[in-house]
Every structure is written in structure tokens, then in C-alpha cells.
Amino acid sequence: MNIPSRGNNDFDAIVIGAGFSGLYMLHRLREAGFHTRVFETGDGVGGVWYWNRYPGARCDSESIYYNYTFSEELLQEWTWSSRYPEQPEILRYLNYVADKFDLRRDIQFQTRVTAAHYDEDNHRWRITLKDGTQVSATYFISGVGCLSAANIPKFKGLDTFQGKWYHTGHWPQDEKVVFKGKRVGVIGNGSSGVQSIPVIAKEAGHLTVFQRTPQYTIPARNHPYDPAFIRQTKETYSQIIPQLHESWAGFPIAPSPRSALDDSPEVRHQVYETAWEKGGFFLTYTYNDLTINEASNETAAAFIRSKIRETVHNPEVAEKLVPHYYFGTKRPILDTHYYETYNRENVTLVDVKAAPIVEITPKGIRTTEAEYELDILVFATGYDGMTGPLLKIDIRGKNGLTLKEKWANGGHVQTYLGLANAGFPNFFMITGPESPSVLANMPLAIEQHVDWIGDCLQYLRGHGVCEIEATPEAEQAWSKHCKEVADTTLYPKADSWYTGANIAGKPRSFLIYLGGFGVYRNICLDVASKGYEGFSLV
Ligand code: N01
């Protein structure tokens, strides 16, 4: 079949989002000669790194691997300052990429996509922008990210609050939030809360942290990179990249071959102590069964609990901070002086599981036990992860079926490889649900998807195919496989955003592929090499 010709508002491909995903997708498609347009809500590139400007926001992946690898020149040109750089540096990197590859001319900023409907007769996606403009494309590609739909709990009375309030993921772009001398409240202690709380505490008059579930966090031990290490890594990048591609999570760290139960308590303690001192995610790599064996998991959990009790001077506060879920089954967190922050005189910890928040009042927060007066309230309450950003858009495939309806059918999300959906031809999701995404090194996971989609579109063009669609059978099999893999681990047992448990009414399923990045990458390559097995091509 022929692909219909296009007008001014008609493109070969439309991509949503100008973060890591959208920028590389644009570059890749433009290089291949596809007429591509990116729509981005913000007025600059960066995606989550554009919006997350909260105090203390920084990367928690080793930055030397937290970048694109597609351009050797870019790899050589860019140098990260430290192990875990702050948000402005990561945003500078993405701006640098946009400039280097001249990407901005095909990005329309301050433009929200509100709807995308598939026109079956013409094999085109009809896309609506917030101002009502209609555009169309043969291929519709989502680069909306996994964690971009903010979760702001519907507390009674928020509209009556007389102070100022912010969500970490929508920090103001042009207002400097000044905490000096102010009574500040932070709700939430996931990665965003744990990063921002120590920084806010240093400036605020008084900080009250409203904690529902205590979390495990590990010291990041950030430090400037040694120039010799950077030089050596840059010289050997061509050998490192294949290792990243084959690895479990997109980092060149080999998993331990040992169970935590193979070592005596003394040896194991030393292993954990060494990892704790190194900082970062080393502790999660110490043994191969921490997320699959309850007894092994407990050894690591108990080690971190002992660190909390050692660090926090007030035993009552320490006990409130001690977590009891399986370590690692909620996203592990890296911190800089998080637990130490509770030794400060200007910091109070409120356990809102014991005394839940009843309402927000004009003056602050009222729990079942007390009212806390606040000038500034920070929601570090996370996101409707994985599916939320996609479901904010009215996406309709064949027969007018909405993505929301499709994913509600059978009570859980189903995708093929986290890349595609039966019933939604020519629609691709970069790091969609049921791909390794957030459990892998994100820029690498994004690159893998973008390359796969780019190759696929070139294949379709080369073979005169105008429509590609996942088959229902392939999709069911993939979803079943994802669930089976997840069920061999402890992950589904936690109430986390990985499962959708953090959003009231969201169907619960494990939304990330847990088979490992390297394994997944090979599956995708295999599917492509078999002429896109599991897809129907018309
Ligand atoms: O969100 P979260 P986040 N009442 O969902 C609490 C990535 N990230 O923005 O655990 C009271 O983890 C909630 O409590 P509970 C990273 O992948 C990366 O911190 O549900 N509390 C929890 O404490 C991360 O995992 C970086 O009981 C409420 C908190 O809010 C993901 O983003 C930095 C509540 C939410 O924690 C999300 O992290 C930042 C309520 N009604 C984020 N509702 C990097 O370092 C929610 N909470 C790269």
C-alpha cells in the first residue's frame, strides 16, 4: 500500500516529548529521512530534567554511564563533573545535545498534545494539540517518560491553604523558592523527598516531614570525578558499551554469583559495610538473591536498619524511620545526609501512618493528632508512573478503542514488549510499561527503544509496509511472561509505583519487565530479525 502524501501539518512521524527519548528519536528519524515533528509542553528541552528543579535534585545513576552512547564524538566531548551531578548540569547536557544535532528546529515547544486518534481508512494518526490545531502522521511515538504525571493527593482543603505549595516534579521555572526562616512541610520521602529534605532543612526556619512509609536509603557518596578515571573511561568506551548492552541494568557491574546466605553473618556484614562505604547502588549488587529470597533480603534490610539506628540520635525518631518492607522492592534511594538531617533541631518527623493527614487548612496541615502551621508545603508525593503520562492523552486506536479502556480490560496493562499495543497500529512507546525502563539505566534503555523503532520504520519503508500492529497473541504472551518473571521475585509484594499501588483505583500489575536489560535487548533484536515476529504487517 502507498503511504498518503502530506500537507503542511502532516508528518511521517510525530513524537511527544523533548526529553532524553524525544531528542534522540528526532535525531534518529531525521537522519533516516523521515519528516518528523516533536511536540513538547515545556518551553525547553529536557523532559523530567526540565521540570524537576527542586532543591537537591540530582542524578542517582553514575553519570559517566548516564548519557547517550550513539555518538562517539558526543561521548568524547561531554565531561560530567561528578558521580551524581545536579539537575542543572544534566539539563545543560540535554541542551548541548539539542544544539549539537540542531534539534530545536523540529521541536514545537509550549505545545501539549491532547488527543491522538487512529484513522483506519487512511492509516494515519490524527493528532490534536491543546490550541485545537490538528496534525497528522503515519507514525505516532510517545516519549512522554515514565514519571511525568504528578501525583498530588486530593487532600481536603488544599485550595484554602494560605501559604505556597509546590510539587517536586513541577518546580517553578522562573521563581526562586526561598525557604529561609520559613516553616516548611514536606509530604513524602521517596527519591524526591529524600533528595530535597536535607537541602531544605539547611535553609528553612523549621522543617516538618510528613512520612507515611519509612524507606531504605543508601549514602550516595557523591564526589567529583577523577580526571584519570574519566580519561580511561572515554578511551575504553567502545569496549564498555557492549558490556552495558549485555548487562542486567545497563551498567558495567557484574552481579555477584553468591547468595547472601552463602556467607557467614560476619563475612556478610563486612560485604555490606564495604558496599555502604562505597555508596551508590553497590549494596544492591552484593548478592544475587536479595530481591528473590526473603531470608537473604532480610540480611540487607537488617543491615540498613542498624545504620539508621546508629545515625539517628533520638531512638524514637530512629524507630519511626526504620522500614519493614522488603529492601529493594520499592525503588532504592540514594541520599546525602538524609538520616543525619533528623538530628537537626529544626526538623520534626511526623508519622502520618499512625496519625493520618485529615485536611489541609488555611494555616497548614491537620492530622488526626495535631495541626502543623506552615508557610510552604512541598508535595514530594511522586507520580502516576508508567501508564499515567500516556493516559493523560486521549489515545484511540482501531474501532475508537481508548488506551485507557484497553488497559482496563482484564484488569491490567497489556503491551507487546512495552513498545507496542494490539489495536493501536503504528504507535510506539519509548520505555513503555512492561519494558525494563526504570529498572535499567534510563538513557540506555531509551536508546535501545529508539534504535529499535528507527530500524523498524526503515524496514517498513523498505518493504512497502504501511501498517504494523502487535498481534493480540504476542501481546498476551509477553504480558504473561512479564508477570511470571515478576512473580519469581519479591517486587510485587511491595506497595510501590512499580505496581500502581500508589494511585487510588489504579489496576495493580507489575509494570516493568524484570528479566534484565541485556536479555530484553536480545529478545527485541530477535523479534526484528524474524521480520517483526508477533506483529502483523500490512
Ligand atoms: O515519588 P515516590 P518520588 N499521604 O512515589 C508519599 C524517580 N526519581 O517522586 O510510600 C502521605 O517514590 C509516599 O508514601 P508511601 C525514581 O525512580 C529519581 O520520590 O506511598 N504520603 C512516598 O513517601 C523514584 O522512585 C530521582 O506510603 C504520601 C512519597 O510520597 C520516582 O522518581 C529523583 C501520599 C512518594 O514517593 C518517584 O520518586 C527523584 C499521601 N496521600 C525521583 N501520597 C533521581 O535521583 C504519596 N505519599 C534520578
> How far is 428 from 140, CA to CA, in rounded Å?
6
For residue range 204-252, what is the model confidence (pLDDT) as tens digits? 999 999 999 999 999 999 999 999 999 999 999 999 999 999 999 999 9
Q: Give the amino acid at 417.
A: L
Specify the 3-state DSSP secondary structure of 184: strand
Ligand 1 centroid – CA 47 distance (Å): 18
> How far is 277 from 481, CA to CA, in rounded Å?
37
The per-residue pLDDT for 386 is 97
Q: Please check the confidence at residue 33 and state whether its pLDDT lies above 80.
A: yes
Ligand 1 centroid – CA 191 distance (Å): 6
Ligand 1 centroid – CA 148 distance (Å): 12
Q: Please check the confidence at residue 4 and state whether its pLDDT lies above 90.
A: no
For residue range 66-94, what is the model confidence (pLDDT) as tens digits? 999 999 999 999 999 999 999 999 999 99
> How far is 93 from 59, CA to CA, in rounded Å?
12
What are the Cα distances from residue 94, in Å, to 50, 51, 91, 97? 9, 13, 5, 5
End-to-end CA distance of the chain: 8
**DSSP bridge partners of 335:** 219
Ligand 1 atom with the shortest distance to the CA of 58:
45
Atom 40 of ligand 1: nearest residue by CA position: 153
For residue range 317-371, what is the model confidence (pLDDT) as tens digits? 999 999 999 999 999 999 999 999 999 999 999 999 999 999 999 999 999 999 9
Specify the 3-state DSSP secondary structure of 231: helix
Reported ipTM: the value is 0.99
Q: Which residue bears the cell 518492607?
A: 325
Ligand 1 centroid – CA 317 distance (Å): 20
> How far is 386 from 148, CA to CA, in rounded Å?
9
> How far is 111 from 129, CA to CA, in rounded Å?
7
Atom 45 of ligand 1: nearest residue by CA position: 60
**DSSP bridge partners of 395:** 116
For residue range 420-457, what is the model confidence (pLDDT) as tens digits? 999 999 999 999 999 999 999 999 999 999 999 999 99
Ligand 1-lining residues (CB < 6 angstroms): 59-60, 147, 153, 168, 187-193, 195, 212-213, 331, 352, 357, 380-383, 438, 497, 502
Ligand 1 centroid – CA 14 distance (Å): 31
